Structure formats: structure tokens, C-alpha cells
Amino acid sequence: MEHYDYLVVGSGLFGATFAYEAAKRGKKVKVIEKRDHIAGNIYTKEVDGIQVHQYGAHIFHTSNKDIWDYVNQFAEFNRYTNSPVANYHGEIYNMPFNMNTFNKMWGVVTPAEAEKKIESQRMEMNGKKPQNLEEQAISLIGRDIYEKLVKGYTEKQWGQAATDLPAFIIRRLPVRLTYDNNYFNDIYQGIPIGGYTQIVEKMLSSELISVETNTDFFEKKDEYVATYPKIVFTGMIDQFFEYKLGELQYRSLKFETEELDIDNYQGNAVVNYTDAQTPYTRVIEHKHFEFGKGDKNKTIITREYPQEWHRGDEPYYPVNNSENDKLYKEYRKLADEVPNVIFGGRLGQYRYYDMHQVIHAALTVVSQEFSEK
């Protein structure tokens, strides 16, 4: 067998960043990926000239100039600004909660009026310590916004009544007393023109990197561990250890994608459905990520349904509550006993990382691995 310095398990942003940096330092890297394509959850695919975000809306945002410059090596970004809207039984509200939202909800016009209204709504709690998510949300933002924009969405997201969910899930609800619909506060934001997959393709394009898709690490775990001097594992850390301490919890998603014979379905890339009756949480209309680029007679939409996770499902979100974080720490101790395996990324580190954070985490591992600090 050919000699490789590293086996990277998973071709998502963490694995690809590591592979790219290792190859830059002259290392030979084998990347295996269980899906039939590279790029993990940032994978985009062109259909009708439209870049379809196969695993949910992905908007790159960061305030870290080094990370922004880094990712811009691999693609040119457009000026897309995330401004989702909420649809509550046909009433449309701007997100995050801002002056447009408050004006539509209550008719208030100035920030002082909005503040006064929010304050009066919060009075309902009468100083009582919130015992569950519902009470927490009301204590932060009041009942009107809670009922129309938080309750249904959150209950669908978690598959539980808000009164059964712990208060700590919502530590804060961002309230903006300006007419600014930009969802993120970061300095840099955008979508790569031509999609995300090109970023990972370029990262993995070195002659020193060989990529094998449709290859699950667990089919030959023992052989891989015995053969490769070092492994970068970006799959689930609990699965790596055969769940021997128990399962970590994840949330899964089902994506339902449809091609429609019209140019424009909803007028925005992201619409959140915040009522309890609509079974999905969001509808993404992909062409709006690139300002309507693509076939003028077609559009592609994706409905996103939150799901409970069971073994074998795609684990999209780690559930970082105190119990799971405690269990993760136990798995981390086991990980320390296998120093030739680096656990990285959203599943390997059991952390809800955004893309800029995952690149940062991978670059941190790279500098540790190559003793550059």
C-alpha cells in the first residue's frame, strides 16, 4: 500500500482545511468520505443554473479578517446579507427582532416607543424566575413576540412543548432597536459565487491528496487504525468509541427539495414558518442566495423538517445541554488515550460550529500538529 502521513475521515470543511494545510507542508494525505460527494454539509450542487444548498442554508459570516481572507483564497464571495423573514399564518415579520418587526407587531415607530412596549410586555413575569423556555422567552421579549415568532418555531425545532423545554436554551433573544434587517452582526458576510463545493474541491486538489468517496471509516476501522500513522477523524466521537459510554444526543433534519416552473416563489432566500401547524421550520429558495441567477422559468425550494435523531440518521446538530456536554467530556478522556487520532469538526468535537469557526478550529489544530506556535 502507498504510504500516507495522514488519513482524514470526512471531507467537510474541517477535514478539507486540515488536508490542504498538511499537503502544503509536503505531507501525503488520504481523505475518505462516506457520502458520494465531498464538502460535507456545505455541499452545493448546480441545478437549472442555481446553486442548491443541499444541507440547508449556508451563509458565511465572520468578523475575523484572517479567516475571511483565508476562505477568499478559494472562492469569490458576493455581498449576500442574510435577512430572513418570518411567516406567521401569512403575516410577515422581519428577523432578527428589530424596529420593522416592532412596527408591524405594535405600530410603534421610535426606538423609545418600542422599548417601552417591550418593557410593558415583560412585566407579565412580575419578577418571577423563569422555570421553562416559555417563561424565559416572555421574560426577555414579552408574550406577543413569543407567541407569534418564537413558540411554534422552537417547539418544531426541539420536538417538545416550550413549557417542557429548559429555560437555558434561550439565554438571550437578540433585540435590535434599528430598522436593520441584517441577521448577523459580523463585519464580513457573503455566499461564494458558484457555490461552496468549489472551496473544498480546491482545498483537496493537491497531488499529495487522494480522495475516496462512498467509503465509511467504520467498515475497516481496525485496518485504518493499524495502517495510518495519524488519523484526523471528523465523524461522531461517540460512534468512534462504539457508543461505549452511551449516545450523545443530536438533532436531525429532513430536507424536501422541489423544482417549480416559476421564477420566484417567495421573494427571499430564507422564510421561517413560526406557527405550530406548518410542519416545516423553514423554506429556502436557493436562487436568491445569488440574486436570482439561474433559469428564469424555474426555481428550487427546500423545506426543512426538524427530526429526532436515531442511530443511522444524519446528525446535523449536537444538543449541547449540560448532560451531553458532561458525556462528551468523558469521551474526550477516551480520545486522549488515542494520541494518534485527532478529533475535529462539528461531530468530532461535539460543538455547534459555524463555518468560520470550523476553519479556525482546523487551523488551530494544524499549528499544534506542525508545532508552529
Site string for ligand FDA, 44-83 (x = CB under 6 A): -----------xxxxxx-----------------------
The distance from CA 170 to its chain's CA centroid, rounded to whole angstroms, is 17
C-beta separation of 225 from 240 below 8 A: no
**Catalytic annotation on 311?**
no
Closest CA to 13 of 293, 322, 356: 356
Instruction: Give 139 or 197: the residue with its C-beta nearer to ligand FDA.
Output: 197
Residues 6+ apart with CB under 8 A from 318: 248, 249, 250, 324, 346, 347, 350, 351, 352
Near ligand FDA by CB under 6 A: residue from 148, 324, 345, 366: 345
**Catalytic annotation on 352?**
yes
Pairing of the two strands 6-9 and 29-32: parallel
Element holding 331 (H helix, E strand): helix 322-336
Q: Is 358 in the site for ligand FDA (CB under 6 A)?
A: yes
**Catalytic annotation on 35?**
no
> Of these residues, 251, 280, 317, 369, which one is catalytic?
251
Helix H segments across 170-220? 197-203
> Of these residues, 33, 43, 176, 273, which one is catalytic?
176
> Of these residues, 76, 243, 323, 352, which one is catalytic?
352
Q: Is 289 in the site for ligand FDA (CB under 6 A)?
A: no
Shortest distance, position 290 Cβ to ligand FDA, whole Å: 15
Binding piece for ligand FDA, criterion CB under 6 A, among 109-117, 153-161, 329-337, 353-361: 353-361
Site for ligand FDA in 169-228 (CB under 6 A): 216-218
Site string for ligand FDA, 219-238 (x = CB under 6 A): ---------------xx---
Residues 6+ apart with CB under 8 A from 72: none
Shortest distance, position 102 Cβ to ligand FDA, whole Å: 25
Instruction: Give 146 or 228: the residue with its C-beta nearer to ligand FDA.
Output: 228
Site string for ligand FDA, 19-38 (x = CB under 6 A): -------------xxxx---
Near ligand FDA by CB under 6 A: residue from 228, 346, 350, 365: 346
Near ligand FDA by CB under 6 A: residue from 147, 180, 295, 354: 354
**Catalytic annotation on 176?**
yes
Instruction: Give 60 or 228: the residue with its C-beta nearer to ligand FDA.
Output: 60
Residues 6+ apart with CB under 8 A from 61: 82, 184, 186, 188, 189, 354, 356
> Of these residues, 2, 79, 171, 172, which one is catalytic?
172
Closest CA to 146 of 104, 179, 105, 108: 105
Q: Where are the beta strands (DSSP E) in the chain?
A: 6-9, 29-32, 44-47, 50-53, 60-62, 85-88, 91-94, 188-190, 209-212, 230-233, 250-260, 270-273, 282-285, 299-308, 317-318, 341-343
**Catalytic annotation on 303?**
no
Q: Is 355 in the site for ligand FDA (CB under 6 A)?
A: yes
Instruction: Give 77 or 106: the residue with its C-beta nearer to ligand FDA.
Output: 77
**Catalytic annotation on 346?**
no
The distance from CA 169 to its chain's CA centroid, rounded to whole angstroms, is 17
Near ligand FDA by CB under 6 A: residue from 11, 181, 249, 324: 11
C-beta separation of 263 from 297 below 8 A: yes
CA distance 45 to 153: 28
Joined grid coordinates for residue 370: 506542525
| Count of helix runs (H) and strand runs (E) in the chain | 13, 16
Closest CA to 62 of 289, 360, 367, 366: 360
Joined grid coordinates for residue 275: 406557527
Shortest distance, position 359 Cβ to ligand FDA, whole Å: 9
Shortest distance, position 187 Cβ to ligand FDA, whole Å: 14
**Catalytic annotation on 354?**
yes
Active site residues: 172, 176, 251, 282, 304, 352, 354
Contacts with ligand FDA, residue ranges (CB under 6 A): 9-15, 32-35, 40-42, 55-60, 216-218, 234-235, 253, 316, 345-347, 353-356, 358
